[in-house]
Amino acid sequence: MFSTSCHYGLQAMLYIAMHASDESNVELKVVAKEQDIPRHFLSKILQQLVKNDLLISMKGPTGGFRLARPPEKITLIEIIAAIDGLGVFNKCGIGFKQCNDKNPCPIHDDYKKVRAEVEDLFKSKNLKETVEDVKSGASIISITGG
């Protein structure tokens, strides 16, 4: 449903939320290495997140990235919107360009419901909740490197 860039952006934001603070930033090379994301590709994604006021980028010896707002104020849907846009929640499940309510594909009605549920999930989850899930062990994937 989401692009590779969007997946990487979500992973990077979660990693930064876990490791950055008001006193320290997370370096691009650390995120790239720990999350196994190509550094150049990640750099472009993080700059997109900076442009959308989700991250702050600092240069210099203590440079790197940190969240632009507290993690409880950043929803996952904002990250998706910054990278893929919200149009992803209106696309056809099969990939037809002309699929819509008037010209539905064979799975249109069912997929429309699923898309709405996924959109609601990403609207309701914020970075703080996801970090807490990882730290408590409730999450299957741990992003604790660094």
pLDDT tens track for 101-120: 999 999 999 999 999 999 99
pLDDT of residue 21: 82
pLDDT of residue 117: 96
Give pLDDT tens digits for 44-67.
999 999 999 999 999 988 889 999
pLDDT of residue 143: 61
Q: Is 134 helix (H, G, I), strand (E, B) or coil?
A: helix
Burial class (CB in 10 A: 0-12, 13-18, 19+), 39: exposed
Query: Which of the two residues, 3 and 143, has the higher pLDDT score?
Result: 3
Which range has the worst mean pLDDT, 17-26, 49-58, 120-129? 17-26
Share of the chain above pLDDT 90, in %: 82
pTM of this prediction? 0.89
- Domain parsing of the chain, residue ranges: 4-136
For the chain, give me the number of helices (H) and strands (E)?
6, 2
Which class would CATH give 4-136?
Answer: mainly alpha
